[in-house]
Amino acid sequence: MGALTAKTGSLSPVSKSSSLASSEVSIGSLSLGAQDIHASETYRRGLLPSRQTFVEYNGYRFLITDSPSDVELPSYIETLRSHNVKHVVRVCEPLYDAGELIASNFKVHDWCFEDGGMPNDAIVNSWLKLVDFIFDSKRDGYNAKETIAVHCKAGLGRAPVLVALALMELGMEPINAIGLIRFKRRGAINGQQLQELVRYQKRDSDAKGQSKPKRRFSGRPILFGRRRNSVKDNLVELSTM
């Protein structure tokens, strides 16, 4: 893998109405941009990440965000459309009515797991299956500009973890995947999540090149605050994507 290079614009004092200057990271074909500052519960880490973080690596495109509220849904929908998003992955308790997204022709995947924790194997497998499907250049309806949006409550833990897993499955070393996401989205991925990602085992492949799932984490998902032992895509079956 080529050397990591970074170009960062100068920073100006941050106020409620200010934003960070543009920044860019490149590694291989990875490209990371910068968005507007969003002051929210992320103050708990003393950091102000961009509200939306776009990550592109080897043609795989992801948009990490915090969770919109019902009031913010119209602007959120415009953001999704501007990034060619069709699938939205929600990994936190719902803070908005997903019906409005569905009515706007987005497919929503509810794969909630514990805040600050790791997804269980069922969620990881569902996530990677979605990634494989969206970025399969041989499928009908493939769009090279399509992006998967993934969000948790603040966009600092659960959502970045899923994107890190995808980058690692694409061949990036764990520490590089984590570092790149943290460079763009300051405060992302806590210490426990970092340790679990470093220990992550990628999918096996059989002689025909088919990916075979294997046990990775001990985490269990929760649904709307209640733990459960299996995951089901509540709003769209992956087989009908």
What are the residues whose beta carbons fall under 8 Å from the beta carbon of 170, sequence distance 6 or more? Answer: 57, 58, 60
How many whole angstroms from its chain centre is CA 235? Answer: 18
Check 97, 115, 206, 233 and give the catalytic one: 115
- Rg of the chain over Cα atoms, rounded to whole angstroms, equals 17
Question: Are 27 and 180 a contacting pair, CB within 8 Å?
Answer: yes
Is 115 an annotated catalytic residue?
Answer: yes
Is 152 an annotated catalytic residue?
Answer: yes
Check 66, 92, 152, 233 and give the catalytic one: 152
Amino acid at the residue 16: K
DSSP 138-173: TSTT--TT-EEEEE-SSSSSHHHHHHHHHHHHTT--
What are the residues whose beta carbons fall under 8 Å from the beta carbon of 64, sequence distance 6 or more? Answer: 52, 53, 55, 150, 151, 155, 159, 160, 163, 181, 185, 188
The end-to-end CA distance of the chain, in Å, is 33
Catalytic residues: 115, 152
